[in-house]
Amino acid sequence: MNNQYLLKRLVTMGIVLFGVSLLTYVMIFVTPGDPARTILTQQMGGQTPSQEAVEQFRVSEGLDDPFTVQYVRWMSDVLQGDLGYSYYSDQPVTDAIAQRLPNTITLAVASGIVAIAISVPAGIASAVNPGSRIDYTAQFGALVGVSMPNFWLGYLLIIVCSLWLDVFPVAGVGGLEHLVLPAVTLGSGMAAIISRLVRTAMLDVLDAAYIRTARSKGLREQIVIYKHALQNALVPVVTIIGLQLSYVLNGAVVVEVVFQRPGLGTLLVDAIFARDYPIVQGVTLLIGVIFVLTNFAVDLTYNQLDPRIDLGGELM
């Protein structure tokens, strides 16, 4: 790996991470409402605190300091793993996140598996027989999949599979049976996007000269497709699957609400409605950071998989 390229990417990533933290902090900083009053009211069991108490609290907690001072203090706390405390339960934000994160990761992995299991075969089948009935069906299916709101698909699956057929539980977390419907809901939308890209990538590759060579050598079609073509087509596909994390995190919010799964998404939505800003801030920051790091990892993988990609090239 080219060191100069790596360094350049690291610097850009650092700037973006700084931007993410700043944006997260500013969003909460400018919220209407007085955090001092909110916290004190909570601490006093719902009673309205006196004006002096609020003033005193503001000074002792540094809420009167200039923005930059407060941001730097918050940032240094964050870097030490302290995201503050929930306004309402006194629980550290990191604990609340740690409790919910495993459920979201499970959902993300399961839906990723569903997505790949559907999309890769569908994309290959399309690309191998372009213009065929299979191709059109797969392409139309993908279009429908992209256009389907996942909250509706979730309820549709609940109605059919849980209420009518009584195969899977309606909601909640637990065994594998609780995971199937949410994973299918989230995974099918992803599958739609991935299958289109698998198709495009395969079509590009199947056009290449080395495929013609492989065919004219008399290699069996299966070997040509699975060994020569698929391996090369996988390069862009890996990137796309990595970038699908955005889709997973977007979708997880809604899907977790539909299936009432306690995860990062439901934590965020509940905190937003409760105006529990430390939690909102913590979850938003975490999601932003995860996303930036994944994109970075995807970039590097991309370069590893395809050595032809110019490492010293312009970034954008």
Partner 1 sequence: MIHQLEAPSLVHPLGTDQLGRDVLTRLLHGSRLSLGIAVIVTTVRLVIGTAVGLVAGYAGGWIDEALMRLVDTLLAFPGIVLALVIAGILGPSLVNVMLALAVVGWASYARLVRSSVLSLREREFVTAARLLGRSRTHVTVRHLIPNIAAPVVVLATLDIGGVILGISGLSFLGLGAQPPTPEWGTMLASGRTYIRQAWWLVNAPGVCIMITVLGFNILGDCLRDRLSPAQSNQIEKL
In the stretch 186-215, what mask flags binding to partner 1 with x, by CB under 8 A?
-----------x--x---------------
DSSP string, 39-94: HHHHHTTTPPPPHHHHHHHHHHTTTTS-HHHHHHHHHHHHHTT---B-TTT--BHH
**Can you tell me which residue has the tokens 């209420």?**
163
Q: Is 275 helix (H, G, I), strand (E, B) or coil?
A: coil
Kindly give, in sequence order, each residue whose CB lies less than 8 Å from that of residue 61, ignoring residues fewer than 6 positions away. 36
Separation CA 139–CA 15 (nearest Å): 39
For 136-202, the DSSP string reads HHHHHHHHHHHHS-HHHHHHHHIIIIIIIS--S-SS---STHHHHHHHHHHHHHHHHHHHHHHHHHH
Kindly tell me which of 23 and 117 has the beta carbon lying closer to partner 1. 23
Binding mask 118-147 for partner 1 (x = CB under 8 A): -------------------------xx-xx
Tell me how many degrees the CA angle 66-69-291 measures, rounded to the nearest 5. Answer: 115
28 is a contact residue toward partner 1 (CB under 8 A): yes
Using the rule CB under 8 A, is 246 a contact of partner 1?
yes
Binding partner 1 by CB under 8 A: which of 39, 120, 206, 280? 280
Of 148 and 180, the one with the shorter C-beta distance to partner 1 is 148
C-beta of residue 143 within 8 angstroms of C-beta of residue 115: no
Is residue 254 near partner 1 by the rule CB under 8 A? yes
155 binds partner 1 (CB under 8 A): yes
* Region binding partner 1 by CB under 8 A among candidate stretches 83-91, 122-130, 267-275, 301-309: 267-275
Q: Which residues contact 213 (CB under 8 A, 6 or more apart)?
A: none
- In the complex with partner 1, which residue's Cβ is closer, 215 or 275? 275
149 binds partner 1 (CB under 8 A): yes
Q: Does 159 bind partner 1 (CB under 8 A)?
A: yes
Which residues here bind partner 1, judged by CB under 8 A? 12, 15-16, 19-20, 22-23, 27-28, 30-31, 143-144, 146-149, 151-153, 155-156, 158-159, 163, 197, 200, 245-247, 249-250, 253-254, 257, 268-269, 272-273, 280, 284, 287-288, 291-292, 295, 316
